[in-house]
Amino acid sequence: MTLTPDTDLLARARTWLAEDPDPDTRAELGHLIAAAEACGEEDAARAWSELAERFAGTLQFGTAGLRGEMGAGPMRMNRDVVIRAAAGLARYVRRDSPDGLVVIGYDARHKSYDFARDTAAVAVGAGLRAVLLPGPLPTPVLAFAVRHLGAAAGVMVTASHNPPRDNGYKVYLGGDFGGSQIVPPHDAGIAAEIDAIGGLDEVPRALDGWRVLTEAEILDPYLARAVTVVDPHTPRDLAVVYTPLHGVGRDTLLAAFERAGFPAPSLVTVQADPDPDFPTVGFPNPEEPGAMDLAFQTGAALGPDVIIANDPDADRLAVAVPAPETEAGWRMLRGDEVGALLAAHLVSKHAEGTFATTIVSSSLLSRIAEAAGLGYAETLTGFKWISRADGLRYGYEEALGYCVDPDAVRDKDGVSAALSIAELAATLKQNGRTLGDLLDDLAVTHGLHATDQLSVRVHDLTVIAKAMARLREQPPRSLAGLRVDSAEDLEQGSADLPPTDGLRYRLSGEGISAARVVVRPSGTEPKLKCYLEVVVPVGSGDALTAARESAERLLALVKRDLAAAAGI
């Protein structure tokens, strides 16, 4: 086969190669260019395809910052892309803070430290002040540092729970923005500054001038604050198994438990050390099938009261409870269940303020807040929105994210949330009760709020676009025999919500109090995500089993009908 070289593509690749500061990605790109130029060789077509994909555009900076597969080229995460992002951020920060402080954190993924160091060099080169966290640490420590140090901005280099090949770049703004993640129009403002960057030789990069914080300066204050979420006089008798899923949560969480007076959790030893290759899990996300298997095996051997897990950057928390009737012997609680438990716990501790969650999370939080006479807010998906709720006291999202101390960390925090769950579980244990018992109480009081998710991972993003278009053009009239009373296109926005790519259906029918479906593309992964909820009234504890069976049956049917309607 004779290939016709794309001379423009080759020229762009060579230009990128000439200014790439990383020997690893230079070697990678040089190999691709050489393979493409060898037009008669068997792998030439693959090399041209790979080059075309990597140079098809630019990795876009948005409200999630940057996140993507690592490698050479503008469509990958690499030092070139990060330096440009840092330069654009520095220009944006200097508009209001010409000599402002930028605090930079990083996890233990491949290249995370390099990306953090490059960000510091660019910030100092732009006339800003910069400090690095004292090593690979959880994202909530960085979020805390932005507020604690009065920084103008914060950067966390992490891909959170994405696959090992990915990395990311998350931005926080300080000052009037309270140390929250960026939202529009700031994402667009930073992106415009990034787009204005020419060659890398236009970006001043200092050789030194930034500082590495000590643990005493930032980790100790974070831990001292984290332990304040629990009452020193509450019970501490609790056996816990813990896995950080090869991430950076272990040392911080263990230190927090020790300071708070809880027994040291037993570790899932093969997942305890930070490892950027995540050798025991395909996707280092506690929600993914199989990710918790080793934790369940450890739990079966040790018999703890609860199992907890953090994702790799420890901003999320997973909780599992004993379930002898299941094959694994353990049941993962859904994020909505943990969210409701923490809310009920805070109500019992006389919390005041606003409880907030997202449009894709369970409506149970609104019932708990209303019954306690507290404010309630519903936001778009993501803590960048939850953190901006007026008077926020507690926020959570169904994707295992919980904010129990917004005055300290204006983001989800898997460490302080773990302390709160431990306090609740220990208190219940002292009274001969469990987390499951409290969930039953909430169902009897407020109705059984059963949730589920239909999540479709794709390789071709057009599949998601076609599904959304199909649902917009032909919205379902019924799902699982339930009437679709309203079909709301969230792209239109409303008085309460900014526009977003999503659809929301409200349903009604026999045997339920309410039902809701939200369909949206994921903001961080190539997935179409559908969030389902049915609310089944429960007259008494004796009716719980029947209510659960009815809810499970309805959710399964809603999934089936929704998949058919979307063509997925």
Q: pLDDT of 505-538, one tens digit each?
A: 999 999 899 999 999 998 777 889 999 999 999 9
Q: How confident is the model at residue 42 (pLDDT cuts 50, 70, 90)?
A: low
Residue 1's pLDDT band, with cuts at 50, 70 and 90, is very low
Question: What average pLDDT does this structure show over 190-201?
Answer: 94
Q: At what angle do helices 414-430 and 435-446 cross, to 10 degrees?
A: 90
Mean pLDDT of 288-294: 94
CATH class of 221-332: alpha beta
286-295 average pLDDT score: 95
Q: Is the pLDDT of residue 264 over 80?
A: yes
- Residue 333 binned pLDDT confidence (cut-offs 50, 70, 90): very high
- Per-residue pLDDT, averaged over 57-63, amounts to 88
Task: Give 14-35 pLDDT, tens digit per residue.
Answer: 999 999 999 999 999 999 999 9
The confidence score (pLDDT) of residue 114 equals: 98
Mean pLDDT score of the chain, rounded to an integer? 95
pLDDT number for residue 354: 98
Contact of 400 with 286, CB cutoff 8 Å:
yes
Confidence (pTM): 0.94
Which of 3.65.10.10, 3.30.310.50, 3.40.190.10, 3.40.1160.10 would CATH assign to domain 447-566? Answer: 3.30.310.50
Beta bridge partners of 505: 487, 517
pLDDT, average across residues 219-227: 98
What tokens appear for 405 in the block? 């101390």
Cross-strand pairs, 331: 321
List of long-range contacts for 16-19, beta carbons under 8 Å, 24+ apart: 16/55, 16/72, 16/73, 16/74, 16/80, 17/72, 19/80, 19/199, 19/200, 19/201
Task: Spot the catalytic one: 112, 160, 362, 416.
Answer: 160
Which residue pairs from 1-4 have beta carbons closer than 8 angstroms and sit at least 24 positions apart in sequence? 1/45, 2/39, 2/40, 3/39, 3/44, 3/45, 3/48
Q: Percentage of the chain surpassing pLDDT 70? A: 98
Domains 61-213 and 447-566 share a fold: no
Q: Is 160 a catalytic residue?
A: yes
Lowest mean pLDDT across 5-19, 97-111, 235-249: 5-19
Q: Does the domain spanning 61-213 belong to CATH 3.40.120.10?
A: yes
User: Could you give the CA distance from residue 396 to residue 342 in angstroms, rounded to a whole number?
Assistant: 9
Cβ atoms of 79 and 111 closer than 8 Å = yes
Which residue, chain included where needed, has tokens 């890398």? 200
Burial of residue 221 (number of CB atoms within 10 Å: 0-12, 13-18, 19+): middle
Domain boundaries, the chain: 1-56, 61-213, 221-332, 335-432, 447-566
Asked which of 129-133, 410-414, 459-463, 544-548 is least confident by mean pLDDT, the reply is 459-463
What percent of the chain is modeled with pLDDT above 90? 88
Query: Phi, psi (5° rounding) for residue 530?
Result: -125, 125
Residue in the structure block whose two tokens are 């914080």: 213
**Distances, alpha carbon 335 to alpha carbons 230, 265, 397, 402, 520, in Å:** 21, 21, 7, 9, 18
pLDDT tens readout for residues 138-176: 999 999 999 999 999 999 999 999 999 999 999 999 988
Instruction: Mention the CATH class of domain 335-432.
Output: alpha beta
Q: Are 500 and 489 in contact (CB under 8 A)?
A: no
